[in-house]
Amino acid sequence: MLTVMMLMLIAAYPAAEAKAAEASQLVSKGNTTEKVIALTFDDGDDGGNIAALLQILSDNGVKATFFLTGKAVESHPQKIKDIIAKGHAIGNHTYSHPYFTQITAEQMKAEVEKADALIRNLTGLTTKPYFRPPYGAYNAGVLQAMGEAGYTKTVTWTIDTIDWEGRSAAEMTQKVLGNAVPGAIILMHAGSGAVNTPAALPGIISGLKTAGYRFVTIPELLGFSTNSVQYVVKAGDTLYRIARLYGVTVQQIAAANNIANINLIYTGQVLQIPGTGGTTPPVTPTTPTTPSAEIKCTVKAGDTLYRIAKLYGVTVQQLAAANKIANINLIFVGQVLTIPGTGGTVTPVTPVTPTTPAVTKYTVKAGDTLYKISLVYKVTVQQLVTSNKIVNPNLIFVGQVLIIP
């Protein structure tokens, strides 16, 4: 009798402790009064317009969100990689694009899990927590199943261009511009069936910019302050280096950007820096009191405004203001910067070359880059490359022993 009672208690315990996952939140518009807007593109197994769309977005400095199917990954994997490499956000649009209101919860979960696995294996990124239902078809059962699958946001749209019907560029542009509101989500398609979407996109972008709108991705619209700090990944960057630069953890950056593999980021990828609130840059040196005369600094490979500011004892904000820089994460090799308030006499501190030891060696650890090592030892990346006969400065290995010149 005692054994039976114990078995009953054991059987009942998980049921009592289990907590049902919350249903996915349905989102058709961002909850904001700011004039921000999100362009989204659904990609099936065609992807015929992707190259053209990426070029237009790049030309206009706009980041969008692509909802990807598993079939898309199988059909055109390089185009999917191109989407990621350009810094666009992604979401899950299922594996084979069925009507979710006509299949079981288990089938729904299998669809998104298969798609996410394919995308994650190809790019290192997960699509969670953003899901878009095929045909926009959903009900309470769909939202519950997606919540249980880890997709906390089911994203539909505010404005449907109906581009898949072959609508004219003028018609689509007018529909978007005539219905734009703060936080709007615009639906378009990446397949060649949306024949006029590439023709319509430039006019849509320019019209919205003229109306005072700023473009954001779905993660920015739903998960962050629209004023949050963005960082553009440069050659040699690692999440560890970026995290240290902004005083956050690698895990925080990975979570904020849906990064499944913390060792896989791309040059040009745009990262959201969590907890910065759009106003806090990396730790800033005390503002110098030396007066107004100015000197010049030419940007070199690996430079950041933060590094230059620290070198000259000024703030990032002072550099940005003096050089009319809108995006503090975007400077160019060869760019000549005015250093404000340096009195014309202050030069960067030059480290004293040690006389001993004659040869210093360093063993590469996880997360290291030549740039990071060069900063620690106050040498240049080129000196490290030359001293160690390194062919590719972006390729070093854990355990590799480097000579520090």
Contacts of 60 by beta carbon, 8 Å cutoff, 6+ apart: 202, 205, 206
Neighbours of 271 (CB within 10 A): 22
What are the structure tokens assigned to 93, written together?
A: 């649009």
> What residues are annotated to the active site?
42, 189
